[in-house]
Chains A and B, each alone.
Chain A
């Protein structure tokens, strides 16, 4: 009992003594767990919606469309209707009259696929209302993705073939037509609008006793010259998957990038704490603590921080996840928002604890291996010596000299900080590209869904880049702090030897600005590569060159702003205190 209390008190004491460091460790682990929570939640979303939408709408196993005069060959409406009596069909709905109508709303003129429906709920493919009511004469229901893309809401007025209709509802379905946006209205309204100018189409929805055999069922009834076309639910899902594939890709790449930034941050953090903790273990060993007690204390401390980080990270993930899956795509967010499952919380906690254990094990092992005397005598990691950097820096004015030597002193830390900045810059560049990719004929019928998908991608990319930039900013702040703390003695010494506070703070900030500039330069092409991975050929895009170039000075300004305060504080610390004989 006394021992547990002692460990607890030592751990708490250490945390409170190093508040800033502890807070940063929590922030970094929290960012990682938030990322993990987020990507797990999004994985669930991107895998689920078709099945969930299908279940919620009693989606068809086979959806059939009769298009007389289109393929223009064999088959009559009677033969088409007879499909419902095929062996294996257990339920059906339709045939419903279908027409292609011209819809005008909010400045768009769009050709739509309009289906005439009954007031009754269909046994198969009953679209799921997410707003308003089902069709009634004079009122239409619009497929949600299309409604979002158009920007229309329940109660808005639209024109269909010149006639005024009210939007009665917004709904989801899995039986999406291949190209055109989908609306529903009453059969009588549809017939009135179609006006016999065009032959009416008909649609059928079938449920099979063996849904797995739906593709075979459809293939067997799709002769080359038939006037109808059957599509299995697997094919429908494939169409959907195409829609969400890009998003999943963006999320996947985003999660990898975020994980990289977070790992870079934690590596810097654990690295900079390790030397100190190794020394501490040596010290406590010298006063009689057993290595086991010390490792337990360190573990208790790190686990405490990791627990706090998990809570914060999971909470942040929960807050951000709906942002990523918010309405914007007819399928992605349609079947409910991202859920943070117990499993993903457990996984996030496991990750945080893994970090805590690694952060314990490394110093514990090196502390156990290092002799007590050495641990006490060699307080810090010996800095690196790079003769080229020292030679080059001696030709620079004082701030440049200090900056370059600070960089060369801890090259790994500089590289990690630079990597995290590069990733952030690349993400911003990719997002800007995404936002400025023109969608051809966005105002032309048939492509409005592309615009919708584009908007959704942009949304995901924007949220991701915001998270990445925030995490990279935390990283940068931390790297600067670590540099300031680590360089306490050299900077105090530089001041005693004649450097002014301004020279020192410029040097400290410069130690981040130089890698920041490189990160901006590398981030630009890297961003184009990321964009290429997610959205196709950057050459097809119309890159907003001035905006992209502006990212470079913007990065530098951001880096300067973030590092200014720690650098200033670092340069104005009382010198004598650091240099006085200890």
Chain B
């Protein structure tokens, strides 16, 4: 499909004809097939599709955790598809924050310690990291859970901690992989509220999901099937219909 031209800020992510193959020639799986995508500053993009459609692989490619088989990829205007691992790791610190379906909090660290971890790994001073973590914890409304271990938190709280952690180094883009996949409806609402706040605050966001509720928080929705983009929908600014009309309450 053609590359959509979007208004907005400078491009944070720019993928050109990106492909990722797994396996050997006899059993080749093309998880991502010739995908081009630009995500601009402040934009919120959802990638949806059935499981196994390659959307998670695409997300890890975009975050530089996987290497593409073909194509080019620029993160924050720097080509990363062939960047040496160590340089990429350092770039990632301030460019990308990850949110995972399984939360991936460190079990033996408290909520606060989990959140300050990326800052510490990036070489921030312990006091600065701690202060940032406290701010973020307040932002996700879990200040009273600072000293709790993940095992003492509900699923929704864990994911909010994980989102706060993703924001620790003020990344240019937050990449989320099925962020509500392990959550019930109420916890999903909490996480969606947080994403909506981030979007409103201008945080660039790419979320991969098969949950249309999550997808609906984005500005732009991309459907993926068999490793390729098949459809794109703008969710904001387009419709003039009122809410009551949409919901069928008004004639």
Contacts and interface: CB of A to CB of B under 8 A. Distances in A.
Say if the two chains contact directly (CB < 8 Å). yes
Interface of A: 382-386, 390, 394-395, 397-398, 401, 405, 408-409, 489-490, 493-503, 572, 574-576, 579-582
Contacts of A397: 123
By secondary structure, the A interface counts as helix
A404 to B, nearest CB: 12
Given A502-B86, A580-B56, A582-B102, A494 B65 contact: no
A330 to B, nearest CB: 60
Interface stretch (B40-48, B107-115, B188-196, B227-235): B107-115
B116 A394 contact: yes
A403 to B, nearest CB: 13
Given A576-B66, A581-B56, A394 B90 contact: no
B235 to A, nearest CB: 24
A52 B107 CA distance: 64
A394 B129 contact: yes
Contact of A497 (B60, B98, B149): B98
B54 to A, nearest CB: 12
A398 B151 contact: no
Contacts of B126: 394-395
Contacts of B66: 574-576
Contacts of B57: 576
B246 to A, nearest CB: 32
A581 B100 contact: yes
Contacts of A497: 93, 98, 117-118, 121, 165
Contacts of B104: 489, 493, 496, 579
Contacts of B63: 496
B238 to A, nearest CB: 31
Interface in B69-114: 85-86, 89-90, 92-93, 98, 100-102, 104, 106-109, 113
Contacts of B177: 580-581
Contact of A499 (B100, B121, B149): B121
B86 A501 contact: yes
Interface string B110-150: 00010011101111001001000000000000000000010
Contacts of B169: 498
A490 B107 CA distance: 9
Contact of B120 (A385, A401, A490, A582): A401
B181 interface: yes
Interface-centre pick from A494, A499, A574 (highest chain B CB count, 10 A): A499
B178 interface: yes
Interface of B: 56-57, 60, 63, 65-66, 85-86, 89-90, 92-93, 98, 100-102, 104, 106-109, 113, 116-118, 120-123, 126, 129, 149, 151, 165, 169, 177-178, 181
Interface-centre pick from B109, B121, B169 (highest chain A CB count, 10 A): B121
A582 B117 CA distance: 24
A409 B108 contact: yes
A398 B121 contact: yes
B19 to A, nearest CB: 16
Interface-centre pick from B93, B106, B122 (highest chain A CB count, 10 A): B106
A395 B120 CA distance: 8
A405 to B, nearest CB: 8
A496 B98 CA distance: 7
A497 B107 CA distance: 15
Contacts of A405: 108
A493 B122 CA distance: 14
A240 to B, nearest CB: 59
B86 A500 contact: yes
B89 A500 contact: yes
A398 B178 CA distance: 29
A579 B100 contact: yes
27 contacts: A382-B151, A384-B108, A390-B108, A394-B126, A398-B123, A409-B108, A490-B106, A493-B104, A496-B65, A496-B92, A497-B93, A498-B89, A498-B93, A498-B169, A499-B89, A500-B89, A503-B89, A575-B60, A576-B57, A576-B66, A579-B65, A579-B100, A579-B104, A580-B56, A580-B177, A581-B178, A582-B102
Question: Which 8 interchain pairs have the tightest Cβ spacing?
Answer: A498-B93, A581-B101, A576-B60, A500-B89, A385-B108, A497-B118, A500-B86, A576-B65
Contacts, number: 93
Contacts of A382: 107-108, 151
Given A385-B149, A580-B60, A390 B109 contact: yes
Given A494-B121, A502-B86, A383 B107 contact: yes
B65 A575 contact: yes
Nearest to B97: A497
A281 B128 CA distance: 46
Nearest to A574: B66
Nearest to A575: B65
Interface-centre pick from B104, B129, B149, B178 (highest chain A CB count, 10 A): B104
A499 B89 CA distance: 6
A342 to B, nearest CB: 50
Contacts of A489: 104
Contacts of A575: 60, 65-66
B177 to A, nearest CB: 6
Nearest to B85: A501
Contacts of B102: 579, 581-582
Contacts of B109: 385, 390
A574 B109 CA distance: 24
Given A501-B86, A576-B65, A401 B101 contact: no
B107 A501 contact: no
Contacts of A500: 85-86, 89-90
A493 to B, nearest CB: 5
A227 B109 CA distance: 85
Nearest to A578: B104
Contacts of A574: 65-66
Interface-centre pick from B86, B101, B107, B165 (highest chain A CB count, 10 A): B107
Given A493-B104, A500-B89, A575-B65, A581 B181 contact: yes
Interface-centre pick from A408, A501, A572 (highest chain B CB count, 10 A): A501
A395 B123 CA distance: 10
Contacts of A394: 113, 116, 120, 126, 129
Contacts of A390: 108-109, 113
Nearest to A382: B107
A503 B122 CA distance: 11
Contact of A498 (B100, B108, B113, B121): B121
A412 to B, nearest CB: 14
A382 B106 CA distance: 11
A405 B169 CA distance: 21
A436 to B, nearest CB: 46
A498 B93 CA distance: 5
A580 B57 CA distance: 9
Nearest to B166: A497
A511 to B, nearest CB: 14
A102 to B, nearest CB: 74
Interface-centre pick from A384, A495, A500, A501 (highest chain B CB count, 10 A): A500
Contacts of A386: 108
